Structure 1
Amino acid sequence: MEQFLTFGIVGLSTAAIYAVIGSGLVLTYTTTGVFNFAHGAAGMLSAFTYWQFTVGWGWPVPVALAVVLLVLAPAFGLFVERVILRPVQALGEAERLVMTVALLSGLIGVARWIWDPNVPRPLPVFFADRAPFHIGPVAVTWHQALTMAVAVAVAVGLRILLYRTRAGAEMRATVDDRALVGLTGADPVRANKVAWILGTQLAAIGGILIAPTVQLDAAQLSLLIVSAYTAAVFGRLRSVPLTFIGAVVIGCTESFLTGYLPQNDYLPGLRLAAPALLLFLALLAFPHRRLRGRDRRLAPVPIPTVRGTLVFAAATIAFGVVLASVLGEADLITYGAIFSLGVVALSYVPLAGYAGQISLCQLSMAGIGAVVWAHFGAHGQLWALGAAIAVSAVAGALIALPALRLSGVYLALGTAAFAVVLDRWIFSLPAFHVFGVKVALFDQGSVEVAGPRVFGLHLDSGTDLMVFAAVCLALASFGVAALRRGRFGRRLIALRDSEAAYATLGGNLLTAKVLVFALASGIAGLGGALYGMQQRSVTAEQFSLISGLPIFLVAVIGGLGAVGNGLFTGAALVGPTNALVTVASSLQNPVALLPALAGMGLGDNPDGIASRFRRQWEPIARDRIALTALICWLVTAWLLRLGDLISGWTFLWGALAVAVALRLWAAARQAGAQARTRPSAEPEIPVEWWGVRRAWRPEDGEVLARGVTAR
């Protein structure tokens, strides 16, 4: 009984921290409508800052707490609200979700940049010099008592704020109708600011309280938010009391699992994955109200032509051949990921771009594909590549079954929980047997990955594997383009536009979601197998949730509806970052922030930039002289590189410089030709005078309809 009570006290103290963090998450969401994935990262950054002040610089604890909680945390909350999220407030839930995911990735990168993750940073508990007191047979530390007292104070303070003050009334009213609140004389913008300040302060309090009891690690502390997510889902994202109850369930479950879980090689990860499992179960068990506002912006999805797709596939293969011939063996391993990670990114196109299903576990699906290939394709058997795709597709279909009743932020939470379960438990399992069949994953370490045998040839060199990956990306891109042109692609677009309308018109939601999740996961599994081949050996950490966030961000930036987004994501994610690090190794940490910074700039171009790049480079494709000159230059420079007359980097930078110059020249030529053939421009006439000062045109009705729809 004494042991039970001891673990109960530990669980309640942990639950108090989860309740504090979760209540801040609920407060922010219910007031602003933004589910902040970076909420835990704000607490993590506060914990590191508190450590720097107290341990690193020797500040007194009260002064450090005052600076962090009363100055830095409010300032950070205001910065996030004003600079990052207010510009995208009018966009859909998906775009705002991406912004907070970018912020999460960026804060982890900033923490790793400032504080070396390889240096341990122990943080003493509060009142460490005082002996614990006893409640019956159970010893309670003063840190635990302080934690529970803070949670009670937060609960009481939030109740008074929300129901006894004008600011609280404004915050609650803003949830229902921002425009109506403004008409009553209240200020919804001020309510948002207050919510972000309080939410960030609560995250900071939770991060500082929990940091002394865990390892001060950026990713680990940020993922503690999974437990707060679960508590918030218990509260259905709107009830602070239910959030506290959910926190008690989670904290006590973790504590009792620590004390009573049987000791063997298969269950330690279960305790670490318990919050994610509870989150997944809570999402399935509890009814969820409809998300406010638009779940996503319904941008048109272009239909790629057969000719354009064939040209793109050929260009992808040519790009792979050229890179494979000009790079050294070490660079081949580094830059080969352009095509393998490009395949993983391509899986977002049918899933999120066509069907509108947000998933944060695509890199985890890639990890499944890498493991299957590593064990079944150890001797290069090509059929094992099909097995990797099939097993990954089955895993994706299993996700789709419970995802049928989830959408928007709930679906993102569910897939993130699934990724964390794989990270913390499944991928860490040792080999086991199922019905007499041995199942091995990462064997609690790394697995060696071999290259395939194609037509009797063993592709094992970096050159062979890069070309093979480029061919696979080209074929996968062609298949995704064919899907968009086909009947099933049109059904997925209809599913994205309105699930209710899709079901009303006879569509089967379960079948559609299972198929698209299976397809996307199979593509990701192919990318994971290719990535493993190029890296030669892989670990579970390479397929974690945190590792997958930059791929997701760059894919969204590129434009989820574009078939060429796979190559764009791979090139943008792998190329510039590694090139800059090669030029100056000191840029490694700043370069790691680039995907997050680009994701935060999504509000300037929410439809993606891959299509913009295509439009910018169209002039050179339409100008025969410029296109011929570019091809001749590339062939000449390539031959010079093959003859070792120039270096690989000279070839790449020279090709880029000549291509940019020819593009500008071609654009100028076309602009001049259009100016010579264009009739004299008529004065611009305001829209309200169309049909009066000038004749009505057939396209004017469509222009006006588009303007009304946009508003």
Structure 2
Amino acid sequence: MEQFLIFGVVGLSTAAIYAIIGSGLVLTYTTTGVFNFAHGAAGMLSAFAYWQLAVGWGWPVPLALAAVLLVLAPAFGLLVEKVVLRPVQNLGEAERLVMTVALLSGLIAAARWIWDPNLPRPLTTFFADREPFHLGPVTITWHQALTMAVAVLAALVLWFVLNRTRTGTEMRATVDDRALVGLTGADPVRANRVAWVLGTQLAAVGGILIAPTVALDAAQLSLLIVSAYTAAIFGRLRSLPLTFLGAVVVGCLESYLTGYLPQNPYLPGLRLAAPALLLFLALLLFPHGRLRGRDRRLRPVPTPTMRGTFVFAGAIVLFAVVLATVLDEAQAISYGPMFALGVVALSFVPLAGYAGQISLCQLSIAGVGAVVWGQLAPDGQPWALLAAFAVSALVGALIAVPALRLSGVYLALATAAFAVVLDRWIFTLPSFEVLGVQISVFNQSSVEMAGLDLFGFRLDEAAELMVFAAVCLALGSLGVAALRLSRFGRRLIALRDSEAAYATLGGSLLFARVLVFALSAGIAGVGGVLYGMQLQSVTAEQFNFVAGLPVFLIAVIGGLGAVGNGLFTGTAYLGPVHLLNAVAPWTHNIVQLLPALAGLGFARHPEGIVPGLRRSWEPLGRDRTALAALLGGFAVLWLLRIGDVVGNAVLLLGTAVLALALRTWARSKETAAVVAPEVPVEWWGVRRPWRAEDEEVLARGIARG
């Protein structure tokens, strides 16, 4: 019994921190309508800032706390509200979600840049020099007591602000109708600012309180928010008392699992994954609304043509062949994965672009495909590629069935929880046996990935694997385009437009969602296999939740409904990184921030970059003379490069200059060829300027009549 009470106290102290962070999350969601995925990252950044002031620079603890909680945290909250979220306040839920995911990814990258993750940064607990006190058989440290007291104080202050002040009333009313709140004389912008300041301060308090008990690591501290997510979902993102109850459940569950979980090599990861599992169960059990109506902010999905897609597929393969002939082995290893990651990114198109289902676990599912290939194809057997597709598709279907009733931010949370479960538990399992079959995941190490043995021809060179991955990306792009033009593709778009209307008209939500989740997961699994082949050896860290965030962000920026998004994402994810590192190695840390910075600029181009690029380059594709000149000029530069007459830089810059010049020429020809439409006589002077000769023309017409 004594041990039970001890673990209970530890659980309650941890629960107090989750309650503080979770209440800040509920506060911002309740008052602004934005679910902040970066809420934990704000606490992480505050913990690092506190360490820097109190330990790194030797400031007194009270002064360091005051600087973080009263200056830095409020300033950060105001900055986020004004620069990041105010531009997307009137956009849809998906756009706001992307902005907070971008902020999460950017803050983790920034923290790793500023504070070297390889150096330990220990923090001592508060009042560590004081003797703990005893309540019966239980020993309580002053840090634990302070944590629980702060949680109670935060709850009382929040309740008072929200229910007994005019500011709190304005904050709660703003999320329902900002315009109506403005008509009452209130200031919705000021209410949002107050909400973000308070929410960020609560995240900072939680981050500083929990940092002494865990490693001061950017990703780990940011993902502690998963436990706070669970607490917030217990409160259905509205109720602070239920949020505190959820925090107690999560904190005590973690503590008792630590104390009573049997000593078994398969179970340690379960304790780490328990909050994510609980989050997934809470999302399934608590009501959130089964169907949603039409989102009026939805944009049309681009409709590709099969002729254009065939041309695009050929361009993908040609691009890979050119790279294979001009890059050396080391460069091919660096740039080759862009096509494999492009296949992973292509999996977002049918799922998120067509069906409107948000998923944050596609790279984790790609890890499943890599594991299947590593275990089943030690000699590169081709049939294992189909097995990887099938197993990954099965995993996607298993996600879709329980998540049928979820949409929007709840579906994003469920897929994020699934990715964290894979990271912390499934991918860490040692080998085990089922029905006489030995099953191994990453086995707490790396997985060796063999190249493909295709009809006796072994693909194991980086250049060969790059071309093969490009062929797979080309075939996948053709398949996704055919899906968009098919009847099932139109059904998926109808599902995206309105789940309620789709079900009312007789569509099967279960069948459609399971099938599209399975299809996209299968594509991601194949992408994971290709990625692993290119690297020859992969680890679980390369497929974790944090690693998948930049891929998701670039895919969103490219345009989730565009077939060309796969190539764009793979190229944009790896191309700038290696180019800038080769030209200016000092930009390495800045490059890691690029996906997040691009995601934060998403509000300016919510339709995506790829559709705009397509419209911009279409005149060149339609002009046969200009297109022939481009291909001829490129062929000459390519031959010069193969003959070592010019270098890669000349090939790249020469092709870019030639393409831009020919595009400008083709566009100018189309503009000159456009003939202004004839304006009816009754609209002269309205739709076009009045001319001097118009009066004579009218007089002659009247005379003839």
Q: TM-score, normalised by structure 1?
A: 0.94
Deviations 1:263-308 (A, max 9, x none): 1211010011010000000001111258999757311112211111
Distance change (3 Å), C-alpha of 1:291 and 1:46: farther
For residue 368 of structure 1, report the CA deviation from its aligned partner: 0.4
Write the distance in 1 (CA, Å) between the matches of 2:202 and 2:181: 26
Within a 5 Å distance, the mapping from 1:17-36 to structure 2 comes to: 17-36=17-36
1:161 aligns with 2:161: yes
Write the distance in 1 (CA, Å) between the matches of 2:370 and 2:134: 52
Is contact 1:93-1:294 (8 Å) kept? no
Write the distance in 2 (CA, Å) between the matches of 1:25 and 1:227: 12
Give the aligned residue type for 2:506.
G
Write the distance in 2 (CA, Å) between the matches of 1:163 and 1:291: 31
Deviations 1:92-136 (A, max 9, x none): 000100000000000001101100111111111111111111111
Deviations 1:621-662 (A, max 9, x none): 223332222111211111122222223333223322322232
- Alignment partner, residue 655 of structure 1: 655
Judge which range, 219-228 or 578-587, deviates more: 578-587
- Alignment partner, residue 297 of structure 2: 297
Is contact 2:558-2:568 (8 Å) kept? yes
For residue 185 of structure 1, report the CA deviation from its aligned partner: 1.6
Write the distance in 2 (CA, Å) between the matches of 1:153 and 1:560: 44
Distance change (3 Å), C-alpha of 1:681 and 1:539: farther
Within a 5 Å distance, the mapping from 1:424-503 to structure 2 comes to: 424-503=424-503
1:286 aligns with 2:286: yes
1:69 aligns with 2:72: no
Give the aligned residue type for 1:393.
A
Give the aligned residue type for 1:348.
F
Give the aligned residue type for 2:199.
G
Write the distance in 1 (CA, Å) between the matches of 2:109 and 2:294: 31
Write the distance in 2 (CA, Å) between the matches of 1:471 and 1:530: 11
Is contact 2:396-2:520 (8 Å) kept? yes
For residue 690 of structure 1, report the CA deviation from its aligned partner: 8.9
Is contact 1:33-1:292 (8 Å) kept? no
- Alignment partner, residue 149 of structure 1: 149
Matched residue count = 687
Is contact 1:40-1:222 (8 Å) kept? yes
Distance change (3 Å), C-alpha of 1:109 and 1:295: farther
Deviations 1:222-249 (A, max 9, x none): 0001000000000000000100000000
- Alignment partner, residue 198 of structure 1: 198
Judge which range, 230-239 or 127-136, deviates more: 127-136
Is contact 1:39-1:200 (8 Å) kept? yes
For residue 149 of structure 1, report the CA deviation from its aligned partner: 0.5
- Alignment partner, residue 246 of structure 2: 246
- Alignment partner, residue 581 of structure 1: 581
- Alignment partner, residue 511 of structure 2: 511
Write the distance in 2 (CA, Å) between the matches of 1:292 and 1:348: 21
Write the distance in 2 (CA, Å) between the matches of 1:176 and 1:597: 30
Is contact 2:393-2:519 (8 Å) kept? yes
For residue 671 of structure 1, report the CA deviation from its aligned partner: 3.0
Write the distance in 1 (CA, Å) between the matches of 2:400 and 2:607: 26
Q: Secondary structure at the match of 2:3?
A: helix
Distance change (3 Å), C-alpha of 1:596 and 1:639: same
Distance change (3 Å), C-alpha of 1:294 and 1:664: same
Deviations 1:533-560 (A, max 9, x none): 0000000000001000011101111111
Write the distance in 2 (CA, Å) between the matches of 1:75 and 1:542: 34
- Alignment partner, residue 339 of structure 1: 339
Give the aligned residue type for 1:615.
R
Write the distance in 1 (CA, Å) between the matches of 2:350 and 2:69: 44
Distance change (3 Å), C-alpha of 1:129 and 1:589: same
Distance change (3 Å), C-alpha of 1:485 and 1:289: closer
- Alignment partner, residue 704 of structure 1: none
Write the distance in 1 (CA, Å) between the matches of 2:208 and 2:586: 30
- Alignment partner, residue 355 of structure 2: 355
Within a 5 Å distance, the mapping from 1:181-192 to structure 2 comes to: 181-192=181-192
- Alignment partner, residue 568 of structure 1: 568
- Alignment partner, residue 46 of structure 1: 46
- Alignment partner, residue 102 of structure 1: 102
Q: Secondary structure at the match of 2:401?
A: helix
Give the aligned residue type for 1:482.
A
Write the distance in 2 (CA, Å) between the matches of 1:682 and 1:51: 74
Deviations 1:320-376 (A, max 9, x none): 111111111111111111100000000000000000000000001100001101111
- Alignment partner, residue 120 of structure 2: 120
Deviations 1:440-464 (A, max 9, x none): 1111010110110112210000111
Write the distance in 2 (CA, Å) between the matches of 1:517 and 1:410: 16
1:93 aligns with 2:93: yes
Write the distance in 2 (CA, Å) between the matches of 1:460 and 1:296: 49
Give the aligned residue type for 1:260.
Y
Write the distance in 2 (CA, Å) between the matches of 1:54 and 1:291: 50
Write the distance in 1 (CA, Å) between the matches of 2:395 and 2:298: 28
Query: How much identity, in percent, do the aligned residues show?
Result: 73
Q: Secondary structure at the match of 1:303?
A: coil
Larger radius of gyration: 2
Write the distance in 2 (CA, Å) between the matches of 1:291 and 1:198: 33
Give the aligned residue type for 1:202.
L
- Alignment partner, residue 366 of structure 2: 366
Is contact 1:91-1:296 (8 Å) kept? no
For residue 38 of structure 1, report the CA deviation from its aligned partner: 0.3
Deviations 1:560-585 (A, max 9, x none): 11111101111111111211111122
Write the distance in 2 (CA, Å) between the matches of 1:586 and 1:96: 32
Write the distance in 1 (CA, Å) between the matches of 2:644 and 2:262: 62
Is contact 2:343-2:566 (8 Å) kept? yes
Q: Secondary structure at the match of 2:405?
A: coil
1:612 aligns with 2:623: no
For residue 173 of structure 1, report the CA deviation from its aligned partner: 1.9
Q: Secondary structure at the match of 1:247?
A: helix
1:522 aligns with 2:536: no
Write the distance in 1 (CA, Å) between the matches of 2:260 and 2:585: 48
1:9 aligns with 2:13: no
Write the distance in 1 (CA, Å) between the matches of 2:3 and 2:680: 86
- Alignment partner, residue 130 of structure 2: 130
Give the aligned residue type for 1:511.
F
Write the distance in 1 (CA, Å) between the matches of 2:592 and 2:636: 35
Write the distance in 2 (CA, Å) between the matches of 1:215 and 1:70: 25
Q: Secondary structure at the match of 2:601?
A: helix
Write the distance in 2 (CA, Å) between the matches of 1:28 and 1:657: 48
- Alignment partner, residue 694 of structure 2: none
In the alignment, structure 2 segments of 5+ residues that lack a partner are 691-705
Is contact 1:93-1:296 (8 Å) kept? no
Q: TM-score, normalised by structure 2?
A: 0.95
- Alignment partner, residue 208 of structure 1: 208
For residue 250 of structure 1, report the CA deviation from its aligned partner: 0.2
For residue 165 of structure 1, report the CA deviation from its aligned partner: 0.8
Q: Secondary structure at the match of 1:404?
A: helix
Write the distance in 2 (CA, Å) between the matches of 1:670 and 1:62: 69
